[in-house]
Structure 1
Amino acid sequence: MLTQRDKKRYLRQMIIPGWEEAGQERIKNSRVFIAGAGGLGSAVSIYLSAAGVGYLKIVDKDIIEISNLNRQILYIEEDIGRAKAESARQRLNDINKDITIEVVGEEIGEENIIELLSDMDVIVDCMDNFTARFILNKRAIEQGIAFIHGGVWGLGGVVTTIIPGKTPCLKCIFPEVPPSSGLFPVLGTTVGVIGSIQATETLKYITKRGDLLSNRLL
């Protein structure tokens, strides 16, 4: 149930036609898994926190480096050397103290994926490698969890929403792991745009409002 504080805080999105209190309650009761707290994960987690998603689980094992700061807007210079997961929790709690944020400083792998995705409603793929993406994709299909994929390279990026049983899966779209050249170019505004679209897709899926980017790759 929404509190009076909730109704004031989320008023501007609740007056979207068809969203209303019922949509906001679905957001408040939702559990979203964010894979990666880098560039995409920063934008996704900020907007989902601000929108009132009740429970966020963020997984990232990396340490903040100065080269992250051009695009990973969750972090500031004083965070360099800290764990991304813990810094992310602190910053997101500053944005919204009414939601629950769980962080896990581990690498996503076959050995922990079942536990990591337990009781999750949506997976938001903010990873930078296809090995982890394919592990998430496989488990999403097996558990019937919606999977919001996003990726960037240089000035461009892609987004698609995968609904198990209704749309092609990630491995259907990318049968093989794309070749990697190691360090890849990326602009902060690019990940901001793609991450914002991923967050929007997540909210549209939860509230059942708007046309999803399913069966198509933006």
Structure 2
Amino acid sequence: MFNLTPTELERYRRQIMLPGFGEESQQRLKAARVLVTGVGGLGGTAALYLAVAGIGKLILVRGGELRLDDMNRQILMTHNWVGKPRVFQAMETLRAINPDVEIEAICEYVTSENVDRLVQSVDIALDCAHNFAERDRLNAACVRWKKPMVEAAMNNMEAYLTTIVPGQTPCLSCIFPEKPEWNRRGFGVIGAVSGTLACLTALEAIKLLTGIGQPLLSQLLTMDLNQLEFAKRRPYHDPNCPVCGRVSQESERSAPKQKNPRANALTFTK
């Protein structure tokens, strides 16, 4: 486990005070390597809250330049960065906020060529990409390498969130076997909506990494933020899913009974 410096003990003192959290959970966060795809109003805000929580390393992945119409929700950006690669500005902002966190910025979209390398290098992935092609690639790679993934998406004033653990929960292909039509510039967005979802996304990652609380395992949280209506749904776990079916069957045969109160927490090696 990674030791905490005096500066880190003071910086994170208020969350270390939480019942059931303590220095052990903070050490788990320091040991964690997290991939964030998208790095927009959703991914960028989630990355911010992971950085201030003390994640050890964040890998930010997003191609393309910052647009002016991104600026109503891009809290890591400044106006003078419009027209430049957003992922590098995100890295600079996060480093300025918390210099104890290692940040790596990759100005690429998630592709079949880079996805396995990205997923293998981390402990958990946050899926905040702007299209289902990238989301499907990340989902398949996370299943392939048995890495958990927090899946979050929004459309207008609606959003959904779930945590995917390969072999244990439905994967994205189970939940959405047929992909909805989704034009990333075809719907309106209020920054506070993406920010609300982003905070919950970061919290899911923290819960899974530390074992505190109860992550959304095999549950899909749906949100209608127009009416402030929240619901938990049980998505179908397809035993014959072409992406996760084999992994789920193998895990079911070999899974031991867990009684550890931190059984949901991930473990790390140096």
Normalising by structure 1, report the TM-score: 0.98
Out of 114-123 and 8-17, give the one that drifted further. 114-123
Structure 1 counterpart of 2:258: none
Structure 1 or 2: larger helix share?
1
The alignment partner of 1:16 has SS state of: coil
Listed one character per residue, the Cα deviations across residues 76-114 of structure 1 (whole Å, up to 9, x for unaligned) are 211111111110111001110011000100121111111
The alignment partner of 2:42 has SS state of: helix
- 1:213 and 1:194 map into 2 onto residues whose CA distance is 14
Structure 1 counterpart of 2:233: none
Residue 155 (structure 1) aligned to one of 151, 154, 157: 157
Structure 2 counterpart of 1:103: 105
Which one-letter code corresponds to 1:46 in the other structure?
L
Structure 2 counterpart of 1:195: 198
Which one-letter code corresponds to 1:213 in the other structure?
L
Within 5 Å, give how 1:28-67 maps onto structure 2. 28-67=30-69
Contact 1:131 1:177 in 2 (8 A): no
Structure 1 stretches lacking a partner, 5+ long: none
Contact 2:43 2:198 in 1 (8 A): yes
Q: Is 1:213 matched up with 2:216?
A: yes
Question: 1:179, CA displacement in angstroms?
Answer: 1.4
Work out the number of aligned pairs and report it: 218
Which one-letter code corresponds to 2:113 in the other structure?
E
Residue 7 (structure 2) aligned to one of 5, 8, 29: 5
Question: 1:118, CA displacement in angstroms?
Answer: 2.3
Which one-letter code corresponds to 1:17 in the other structure?
P
Structure 1 counterpart of 2:26: 24
The alignment partner of 1:32 has SS state of: strand
Identity of aligned residues (%): 36
Higher-RCO chain (CA-CA 8 Å, sequence separation at least 6): 1
Contact 1:71 1:191 in 2 (8 A): yes
Structure 2 stretches lacking a partner, 5+ long: 222-270
Q: Which has the larger radius of gyration?
A: 2
Structure 1 counterpart of 2:237: none
Contact 2:66 2:81 in 1 (8 A): yes
The alignment partner of 1:18 has SS state of: coil
Contact 1:39 1:192 in 2 (8 A): yes
The alignment partner of 1:111 has SS state of: coil
Structure 1's consecutive aligned runs of 4 or more residues displaced over 3 angstroms after TM superposition are none
- 2:217 and 2:119 map into 1 onto residues whose CA distance is 21
Normalising by structure 2, report the TM-score: 0.79
